[in-house]
Amino acid sequence: MPEMPRVSIDLSAMARLMPMYALVSPDGRLRSLGPTLAKVCGPRAMPGIPFLELFRCLRSACAKSPGQLAKAQDDRLVFALRDNPDTVLRGQVVPLGAGQGMLLNLSFGISAAEAVAQYALDCEDFAITDLTVELLYLTEANAAVMGELAALNDRLLKSRDRAERRALTDSLTGLSNRRALELSCRRLSQDDAFDPDRRRTGGEAKKGFAVLQLDLDHFKAVNDTYGHAAGDHVLRHVGMALRAETRQSDVVARLGGDEFVLILSGFTDSVAVMKLARRIISRLETPIEYQGQLCRISGSIGIALSTDYAIADTDRMLADADAALYHSKHEGRGGAMLHRLIREDAQTGGPVEDGA
C-alpha cells in the first residue's frame, strides 16, 4: 500500500478552512483555537488550558480524558461549554501522529441559528463551504416568509372583522342593525338560562332581560321642516343618547327610519326599566341644534320583560313590546308602557297607566 503523502498547513489557513478547530497537545492542553471557537469560548480559552476544562463530554462514549480523546476518532463527539452548558457542539477528533497531539473540528449543528444570535456571529465566522451558512440563509428566509404570512393573516383577520362589523352596523348611527338584532335574539332564544322553569326544578335562576321598542315622536316634522339632512343629524344624536343611557353589553339597534330596539340584559325589575325608559325619553326631548335651528322630538317606548313569560320567546316579546309602544302612542306619545299592564288591564277591565 503506497505511503500517504504528508501535508503541512499553517494556522492561518486552517483558521479559514476550519474556523472552529481546536489544536490540542498530547497531554490534552489547548495549543491553538480557531477564531470562531475563540469567540464562543471567551477569554478563558488561552493556550495551555486543558481542553476538558473548557468542554464537558456529554456522551458516555466520548473521551473523558486526553488519552481517551485521542482514541475517539471514530466517535461522534458531543460537548457542552462548561461556562455555558446551553451551548452544545458536535465534532470529530483526528490524531496528528506521535508527539503532535490531536486536531478537533467542531460545529453547532442544528442549533446554529441560536448560537449566531447569542454570540453575535455572521457569515465571516464560518467557512465558505460550511453548510451552516446555507442553513442560516434558509432560517432567515423562512423567518421572513413566516413573518410576512403572519402579517398577511393579521391583515385578513382585521379586514374580516371590519367587514363583519359593517354588515352588522347601521351606517348612519353606528348602532346595531336589524341583522345584528336578529342574531342577538337568536342567541337569547337558544339560551335556556332564560327559562323560568329552572327555578322550579332547582336549576340556576335565570338572568332575564328586557326588550324595549322605541319610536320617535314628531320626527316627521323635523324632516318636513328642516330637510332630511337635519333628520339624519337627529338620528345620529338619538343613537349617541341611547348609547349613553345603556351599557356596552346591551343591544341597541336601529331597525330603519326612526324605529329602535333595545335589549337590556339583567333588567327584569319593572320599576328600574320604567325609570330608564323615562330617562331616555327626557334626554330625547332636549332640543337638538342643527345649523342654528332647534329640532324638537320625543319618543314612545313599549316594554316586554322576559320574566313575564313562561318561555322568553324573543319574537313574541318584540311583538308585545311593539304593541305596548303603539298603546303608549295612542295614550298621547312621549311615554313608556309595559306590555304586562296591557294584559292585566284586558283581564280586569281597568285603565292602563303609564308605569310599573
Q: Are residues 299 and 325 in the same domain?
A: yes
* Residue 186 neighbours by CB distance under 10 Å: 12
Query: Cβ neighbours of residue 121 under 8 Å, at least 6 residues apart?
Result: 36, 39, 115
Which residue, among 21, 16, 13, 36, has the nearest Cα to 121 in the 3D structure?
36
Q: How confident is the model at residue 356 (pLDDT cuts 50, 70, 90)?
A: very low
Cα(279)–Cα(245) distance, integer angstroms: 8
Which residue, among 52, 8, 50, 3, has the nearest Cα to 31 in the 3D structure?
50
Helix, strand, coil % in the chain, rounded to nearest 5: 45, 20, 35
- Check pLDDT > 80 for residue 138: no
Which residue, among 198, 212, 199, 191, has the nearest Cα to 313 in the 3D structure?
191
3-class secondary-structure state, position 65: coil
The beta-carbon contacts of 177-180 under 8 Å, at least 24 apart in sequence, are: 177/253, 177/254, 177/255, 178/253, 178/255, 178/256, 180/251, 180/253
224 inside domain: yes
* Residue 143 neighbours by CB distance under 10 Å: 11
Cβ atoms of 246 and 252 within 8 Å: the answer is yes
- Provide the CATH number for the domain around residue 207: 3.30.70.270
Q: Are residues 319 and 250 in the same domain?
A: yes
Q: Are residues 215 and 275 in the same domain?
A: yes
Q: Are residues 147 and 182 in the same domain?
A: no
Q: Are residues 153 and 209 in the same domain?
A: no
Domain that holds residue 253: 178-348
Cα(108)–Cα(130) distance, integer angstroms: 11
Element (H, E) at 293: strand 293-295
| 5 DSSP assignment | P
In this structure, of 59-63, 269-273, 278-282, 333-337, the range with the lowest mean pLDDT score is: 59-63
Q: Span 143-148, mean pLDDT?
A: 76
3-class secondary-structure state, position 61: coil
Cβ atoms of 206 and 198 within 8 Å: the answer is yes
Which residue, among 267, 257, 229, 262, has the nearest Cα to 243 in the 3D structure?
262
Q: Are residues 124 and 147 in the same domain?
A: no
Which residue, among 261, 269, 274, has the nearest Cα to 353 in the 3D structure?
274
Q: Are residues 193 and 308 in the same domain?
A: yes
Cα(19)–Cα(14) distance, integer angstroms: 7
pLDDT, residue 192, reads 46
Query: The pTM is what?
Result: 0.56
> 210 - beta bridge partners?
264, 305
Cα(263)–Cα(255) distance, integer angstroms: 13
Q: Are residues 311 and 162 in the same domain?
A: no
Cα(196)–Cα(103) distance, integer angstroms: 84
- The domain tally of the chain equals 3
Domain boundary among 144, 167, 190: 167
Regarding predicted confidence, which is higher, 88 or 188? 88
In this structure, of 49-53, 163-167, 220-224, 273-277, the range with the lowest mean pLDDT score is: 163-167
Cα(35)–Cα(13) distance, integer angstroms: 12
Q: Show the beta-strand stretches assigned E in 99-202.
A: 102-107
Strands 336-338 and 298-305: parallel
Q: Are residues 252 and 284 in the same domain?
A: yes
- Provide the CATH number for the domain around residue 122: 3.30.450.260
What pLDDT, in 10s, does the model give residues 283-319?
Answer: 999 999 999 999 999 999 999 999 998 888 899 999 9
Regarding predicted confidence, which is higher, 197 or 7? 7
Q: Span 202-222, mean pLDDT?
A: 83
Q: Span 327-347, mean pLDDT?
A: 82
Q: Are residues 99 and 229 in the same domain?
A: no
pLDDT, residue 346, reads 56
3-class secondary-structure state, position 80: strand
344 inside domain: yes
- Check pLDDT > 80 for residue 136: no
Concatenated DSSP letters of 335-352: -EEEHHHHHHHHHH-PPP
Q: Span 319-333, mean pLDDT?
A: 91
Q: Are residues 144 and 222 in the same domain?
A: no
Q: Are residues 162 and 188 in the same domain?
A: no
pLDDT, residue 200, reads 45
